[in-house]
Amino acid sequence: MAALKYFFFFPFFFFLFSFSCFPFPEMNYLSTMNTSVPKDKILIQFDGLCILCSRTVRFILKADRKRKFLFQALQNSPENKSSDTIIVIDKDSSYQYFDAVLKIGEELGGIYKTVYLFRLLPKNWRRSMYLWIAKNRYRWFGVRQSCYLPSRKEAERFI
């Protein structure tokens, strides 16, 4: 029974700590976004050198049964020079900080939609948690020597 309880809480904590690893400078990235994403897809731009971020991308690849998401390492994006951010682009909207995590959970659906309960927390609390994890992500999880390389099967979902 106790193991079942932890099974249901895992998605909350996974999403809380997975994409909560990116600090954002106070800049508007909407004007520099890659807009060549098909209308029915959602683009996730992530730090390809962050081990935590790369593991999270692998998790999303497995959980995304509808194949809604496309991925791009920020290091490979000509528009973005900073790798200290995560950006989720859906149609004409852009999500950052914990809002990006909420959007991913919402789009994955199923049990992952429960991450949306974090919306009940004040936005500045969510942002503070996010930035605290972001500040410590390399120390806790490490950094890659080169960007995350997808497998051949996953490569079609990367820009």
- Report the pLDDT value the prediction gives residue 83, as an integer from 0 to 100: 58
Angle at 105 between CA 88 and CA 48, to 5 degrees: 45
Cβ count within 10 A of residue 63: 17
* pLDDT score for 104: 92
pLDDT computed for residue 27 by the predictor: 36
Whether 157 contacts 67, CB under 8 Å: yes
- pLDDT value at residue 103: 92
Residue 68 CA to residue 112 CA, distance in Å, equals 14
Helix axes 51-63, 97-108, angle to 10 degrees: 20
Residue 81, pLDDT score: 53
For residue 88 the two structure tokens come to: 């989720």
Burial of 7 by CB count in 10 Å (0-12 exposed, 13-18 middle, 19+ buried)? exposed
Question: Which pLDDT belongs to residue 98?
Answer: 87
Which two tokens mark 157? 């979902």
Name 158's bridge partners.
71
Read off the amino acid at residue 109: G
Q: Which residues pair with 95 in a beta bridge?
A: 88
pLDDT tens-digit profile, the chain (159 residues): 555 444 444 444 444 444 444 443 333 333 344 447 788 899 998 888 888 888 889 899 999 999 999 998 877 666 655 556 688 888 888 888 888 989 999 999 889 888 889 999 999 999 888 888 888 888 898 888 877 778 888 888 888
